Chains A and B, each alone.
Chain A
Amino acid sequence: MNKRISKAWLFLILPLIGIAIFTILPLFYGVYLSFFGQRGPRMWYVGFYNYITVLTDPSFWGGFGLPIFILLVQVPIMLIIAVILSLILDSGRLKYPSLYRTFFFMPYAVPTVVSGLIWGYMFSSALSPFVPLLKAIGINVNFLSSGSLPWVMLNIMTWEWAGYNLVLIYSTLLSIPKEISEQAKIDGANDFQTALYIKVPLLKTTLLILFVFSIIGSLQIFNEPMMLSGITNIPPNFTPSMYVYNQAFSYGSFTYATTSAIILGIIIFIFSFFFLRLSMKQMEENIQ
C-alpha cells in the first residue's frame, strides 16, 4: 500500500507544484494586493477600501445583468433544444445519427474567441449576410445596437454550447436501459410519449449538473463580448469579467481589479456551491 501511495505522489508532485506556483500563490498575492490603493508604480495601504468601493459600485453590479439574462433565458432555451435534439438522436429513427452528432458538436470545437469574432461580423452592418436579406423584405435592423446585444449573445452562446450539452444529455440517454423503453412500447406508448414521460424525467440530474456548469460559465463570460468590443460599442461593464479586465488594463487600476476579481470569484463559488448541494440532494432522492 505504501509503495502505491509513494508512486502516486511521484506523479502528483509536478502538477501540484505547478498549481501552487501558478494558481495558489498568485491567489494569495492577489488577496494581499487587494488591500492596497494603486496609481501607476505607487501603492499605499487602504485596508478594506477597495472592497467597499467594489461592493458599492453600481457598475460592478450592473455587469451581472447579462449573466442573469443568459442564465434565465439562454440556458433554458439551449437545454430545451439540446434535449429535443438528443431525444431525436436516441429515437432510432435517423439513418446516420453519428453524423448529426458530429455536426451538433462541431461548434463546441471552435474557440470562443473565434466564434465571438465571426458572429460579430455576421451581425455587423457591413458584413452581415442577414442584413441585406432583411432589407429586401423591408426590415432595417442594426443587430449590434445596445438593445439587441443580449440577444446577440444568446445566439452566440446557444450556437457554441448546445452541441456540448447535447452530447452529455445523449450519453445519459444511452445509459437508460433499453428494457424500459421496450416495456413502454409493449404497454402501447408511442415514441413521443416514451420520450416525454420516461426519458426526460431520467434526465433531471444531468440537466441540473449542466445548469450548474452554465452558472459558472455565464458568470465568467468574457471572450465573446471582448471580440465584439472591437466591432461595436460594448459597455465596459457588460459582464463582470469585462469589468475586472477593463479596470486593470484600460484604467490601470490593478489592485482594484484584483479586488473585484476576488469578489467575483466568491460570488461564483457561492452560486455553484448552492446549486451543487441542490443537485446532490436531487441525486440522493433519485437513488431512493
Chain B
Amino acid sequence: MKKIQVLVVVAFVVLSIVAFSQASVNYANVVFPKYTGGPVTLTVWSWVPNIQKSIDLFEQAYPNIKINYVNVGGAAPTYSKLLSSTTSGAGLPDVTQIEYTFLPQFIDYGTVMDISKWVSQYKDLFPTWAWESVSRGNKVYGIPQDGGALVYFYRKDIFDKYGLTVPKTWDEFAQEAIDIHSKDPNVYIADLEENYFMLFDALVWQDGGTMFNYKNGNYYIDFTNPIAMKLINFWGNLVDKGAVLPTFAWSTDWYNFLATGKIAGFISGAWMPTFLTSIAESSSGSWRVALLPQWNPEEPQNGNVGGSAFCVTTQSKHPEAAALFALWINSESNSVKDLYTESQLWPVANVFSDEINELDTPNAFFGGQKIMSTLNQASQQVKFYFGWLPVMNYVQSEFQTQVTNAANKKESWEDVLTNMQSKVITFMKTQGYNNIIVGQ
C-alpha cells in the first residue's frame, strides 16, 4: 500500500511539473534560428522612430547580418515607393514595414513574399489575431510588430467637474454624452473622426462585426451588416443630437480641441499616449486611460486600430536573413522592450505581456496612473481577425465623403454604409477584381 501511495504522489508531482511547464511558455527564452549564410547587408524601410537600439541588439546576436535602416518618411511615401519599385522590377528593400490594413494590397501587387518556411514554427510567439493578420492560410507574409487596441482617454478634472463617471456600457456612454452636452455645449466626451475609417471599423470590430473579409481566395464585402448599421446609427444619432463632435482628426483644429479640453474624452489606439503627451501638454496630469465601454460587459471584446508588420519583399536577395531579422526584432524579449521604451510602439509579441509589470511605472501625464496594465488588458480583449480589402485608401476616402454628408444632414447615416457598399464594389471591379462575394 505504502509503495503505491508513494508512486502515485511521485507520478502526480512529475505530471504537475510537466503540465505546469507546458502551460507557461517562457517567451523570454525562445531559441531563434541560427544564420548559417555569409555576411550580408539588409536594407530595411520603416518609419518607426528610434529603433536603433533594437537593431544594435540584433546585429550583436547575428554578427553576419548588418542592417541598413532607411526611413522613407511615413506610410504614404513608403507605399508609393513600394508600388513604383514593384512595377519597375527593381528598387525594393529586403524588409519593409507595411500596416496590417495595407498588407493585402501589397500581397496582391506581388511586393511581399511568403516566409512561412523560416518562421511558421514561431507563430505561438504572437497572439492568434496578429498572426492571422499577416497570413493567408499557411502562407506568412510578414511578422506582426505592433498593435493599437482601442482605449478611452479622458480628462479626469472635467469629468469630476460635471460629476461624470467612466461609462461601463455604451448605453451609459450615450446618456453621459447627452448629459454633458446639455450642461455645457462646448464640451464633448467623444468625437466622430470623419477621416479615420479605421477607427470606426475598430468600433464595429469591438462588437464582433466585420464589414469585409478574405476567405479562400475571395473578398467578402458587407458594409451593411447589422452590427455595422447599429454602430453607424449609434454614433450618427449622437452626432445629430450634438452630443458627439464630428472632427477632422490630426488637423490643427483637432489638436486645439484636445489641448483646450473641448474634447474631454476620445477613443483611440494603444499607441496614442505619446502623441497625446505632446498635443495636450498644457493639460498634463489631468488625463487618464480607461477601457472602452462594452456592449456586453459579461463578455468584453475589443477592436484594433493601426499596427504594422515587417515583411520580406519579393526582390530580396537574402530572404532567409531578412525573415530572421523581421522575426527576431519583433519577438526577442529585449528588442521588444526597446520597441516600447524607445520607439513608443505597443508590441504585439506575447513576451511583451510578461514585461508589463517591470516596465509599468506611474505616468506623470496621466496623473500617476500606471497605464500599461490598462493598455495590456485592452489588447488582450482583441479576439478575432478578418482580412482587409486591397483598396483601403479608397474605402477611407469614400467613408470621409459619406460621413461628412451625413453629418451635414445631406444623407442618412444608413446611407453612408449603403453607398459605401455599392461604391467599393464598383471600384474593386474596375480595378479588375473578379473574386468579390457580397455578404459575410
**Does A193 belong to the interface (CB within 8 Å)?**
no
Q: Are A39 and B432 in contact (CB under 8 A)?
A: yes
| Closest partner residue, chain A, to B254 (CB atom) | A126
Provide the bound-state CA to CA distance between A235 and B430, in Å: 21
Name the residue on A nearest B391 (C-beta): A251
Q: B195 an interface residue at 8 Å Cβ cutoff?
A: yes
Q: A37-B432, A246-B397 are in contact. Are A126 and B253 (CB under 8 A)?
A: yes
In chain B, positions 103-126 with a C-beta closer than 8 Å to chain A are 105, 108-110
The reply to whether B105 and A232 form a contact with Cβ atoms under 8 Å apart is: no
Q: How many of chain A's residues touch chain B, expressed as a range?
A: 20 to 34
Expressed in whole angstroms, the Cα–Cα distance for A197 and B254 within the complex equals: 53
- The residue from B86, B255, B427 contacting A41, defined by CB atoms under 8 A apart: B86
B80 at the interface (CB under 8 A from A): yes
Tell me if A's interface is mostly helix, strand, loop or mixed: loop
Query: Given contacts A40-B109, A126-B253, is CB(A232)–CB(B248) below 8 Å?
Result: yes
B430:A37 contact, CB within 8 angstroms: yes
Interface centre among B252, B391, B393, by most chain A C-beta atoms within 10 angstroms, is B252
Given A121-B252, A236-B401, verify A41-B431 contact (CB < 8 Å): no
* Cβ contact within 8 Å between A41 and B397: no
* C-alpha spacing A253/B393, complex, angstroms: 11
Q: How far is the CB of B292 from chain A (nearest CB, A)?
A: 25
* A253 in contact with B397 given A231-B248, A231-B251, A233-B194 (CB within 8 Å): no
Kindly supply a per-residue 1/0 record for chain A positions 35-71, scoring 1 wherever the CB is within 8 Å of any chain B CB and 0 otherwise.
0011111101000000001000000000000000000
The answer to whether B404 touches A251 (Cβ under 8 A) is no
Q: In the complex, which residues of chain A have a beta carbon less than 8 angstroms from the beta carbon of B253?
A: 124-126, 231-232
Q: In the complex the two chains form, is B432's CB within 8 Å of A44's CB?
A: yes
Is A250 part of the binding interface, using a Cβ–Cβ cutoff of 8 Å? yes
Interface 1/0 per residue, B238-260 and A, CB below 8 Å: 00000000001001110111000
Asked if A230 is an interface residue, CB under 8 A from chain B, the answer is yes
* 8 Å CB contact of A147 from B110, B408, B430: B408
Interchain nearest-CB distance for B301 vs A (Å): 30
Q: Taking beta carbons and an 8 Å cutoff, which residues of B are in contact with A?
A: 80, 83, 86-87, 105, 108-110, 194-195, 248, 251-253, 255-257, 391, 393-394, 397, 400-401, 404, 408, 427, 430-433
Q: Which 4 A-B pairs have the closest CB atoms?
A: A126-B256, A40-B109, A41-B87, A39-B431
Instruction: Give me 11 A-to-B residue pairs in the complex whose CB atoms sit less than 8 angstroms apart, sorted by A's number.
Output: A38-B431, A39-B108, A39-B432, A41-B83, A44-B432, A124-B251, A233-B195, A235-B401, A236-B401, A250-B393, A251-B391
Q: Footprint of B on A, CB under 8 Å?
A: 37-42, 44, 53, 121, 124-127, 145-147, 230-233, 235-236, 246, 249-253, 256
